[in-house]
Amino acid sequence: MTCSIIIPVFNQLPFTEACLSAVFRTLPANVGVEVIVVDNGSTDGTAEFLQRAAAENGLLRIRSVGCNAGFSKACNLGAEAARGDYLLFLNNDTIPLADTRGFEERWPRHLLESDDERFYREDGFSVRSMRDGQVELDENITESDRLVHQALAPGSLSPASPNENALRKALELYPHNVRALHALMTLHRRRGDCEEALRCAEILRRVEPGNLERHLTAVELAFLSGLRERAAQILEYVGRFPHLPQAISERVGLLRGKITELQQLKVGNHR
């Protein structure tokens, strides 16, 4: 009997290090195991760590996606690469223990809230229970996109637009729908509700971490919301990207100048 342990990861390097250490420490000796880590385009040193770990441990295999494809997609990519008879999907914030049957005694299943449905929902799926006890995933992306199309019909985006409901419904079906998030962010910004717009912008940053425009928009919205420290934090994050395009570098410089000017004004007022 062989088993493939599939671990999707996106950043959170300390969790991944602890998880892999625990996995290899608790592997049973009588089971053939391979560990497949699917890296969803991590930018915090995870990729480099995984390459070193795989070179040191022949049981570890790495599959790199290059972007944040989502939890469900990463699971599928890991399953495609798996060679085991059984598949075990593991979150990277899990610390496996050698005595699992004791965990269930202390934490019965009915007391635990499963997070898999939340991950499926964020990736555009809902879980449907079958009569035989199995579950199926229903794809919500198509209906979510239809609602966004309805909401973005010509002339629909105005401060009193009733189609905001369609955008919110689209996000209920698929919380990572980029077009819906962007449209809702734009709508809130037009209304002058920059804090709500910033909430959408922060989600867009997580969904598209390599999109520099998303980060700079969040900086501007944080700035307009009076959250200068948050704006400075995001701006510092953008500054870590190598080889910024000239247009982006210019915007970064302008935003840094505004933040510095306000900080100096604040210091001057306290004197």
d(CA 125, CA 73): 11
Pairing label, strands 60-64, 32-39: parallel
CA torsion sign for 150, 153, 155, 157 is positive
**Structural domain includes residue 153:** no
**Residue 76, number of CB atoms within 10 A of its CB:** 15
**Structural domain includes residue 22:** yes
**Structural domain includes residue 220:** yes
**Structural domain includes residue 47:** yes
76-105 pLDDT per residue, tens? 999 999 988 889 999 988 888 776 575 556
Of 32, 65, 100, the domain-final residue: 100
At residue 259, the pLDDT reads 78
Percent of the chain with pLDDT over 90: 31
* Distance (Å) of CA 22 to CA 57, 92, 96, 145: 14, 11, 6, 41
Number of domains in the chain: 2
**Structural domain includes residue 8:** yes
Confidence of residue 130 (pLDDT cuts 50, 70, 90): low
**Structural domain includes residue 134:** no
**Structural domain includes residue 85:** yes
**Residue 55, number of CB atoms within 10 A of its CB:** 9
Question: Which of 77-96 are b and which e, b meaning 16 or more Cβ less than 10 Å from the residue's Cβ?
Answer: bbeeebebeeeeebebeeeb
Angle between helices 228-239 and 212-224 (to 10 degrees): 160
Confidence of residue 123 (pLDDT cuts 50, 70, 90): confident
The number of CA neighbours under 13 Å toward the Cβ of 172 is: 7
pTM over 0.85: no
At residue 200, the pLDDT reads 95
Of 51, 76, 100, the domain-final residue: 100
Domain at 83, CATH number: 3.90.550.10
At residue 157, the pLDDT reads 56
User: Would you give the distance in Å from CA 112 to the centre of its chain?
Assistant: 23
Checking if the pLDDT of 196 tops 90, the result is yes
**Could you tell me which of 85, 90, 115 has the C-alpha nearest to residue 100?**
90
At residue 134, the pLDDT reads 65
At residue 219, the pLDDT reads 93
**Structural domain includes residue 140:** no
Checking if the pLDDT of 112 tops 60, the result is no
Domain at 199, CATH number: 1.25.40
Checking if the pLDDT of 177 tops 80, the result is yes
At residue 85, the pLDDT reads 86
At residue 86, the pLDDT reads 87
User: Could you list the residue range(s) of the whole structural domain that residue 39 is in?
Assistant: 2-100
State which of 59-63, 104-108, 244-248, 262-266 shows the largest mean pLDDT: 59-63
Residue scoring higher pLDDT (135 or 259): 259
d(CA 244, CA 174): 31
Average pLDDT over residues 44-73: 88
DSSP notation for the chain:
-EEEEEEEE-S-HHHHHHHHHHHHHH--TTSEEEEEEEE----SSHHHHHHHHHHH-TTEEEEE-SS---HHHHHHHHHHH--SSEEEE--TT----S-HHHHHHHS-GGGSPP-HHHHHHHTTEEEEE-TTS-EEEEE-HHHHHHHHHHHTSTT--STT-TTHHHHHHHHHH-TT-HHHHHHHHHHHHHHT-HHHHHHHHHHHHHH-TT-HHHHHHHHHHHHHTT-HHHHHHHHHHHHTSSS--HHHHHHHHHHHHHHHHHHHHHHHHT-
243-262 pLDDT per residue, tens? 888 998 998 989 888 877 77
Checking if the pLDDT of 110 tops 60, the result is no
Of 100, 118, 138, the domain-final residue: 100
Checking if the pLDDT of 22 tops 70, the result is yes
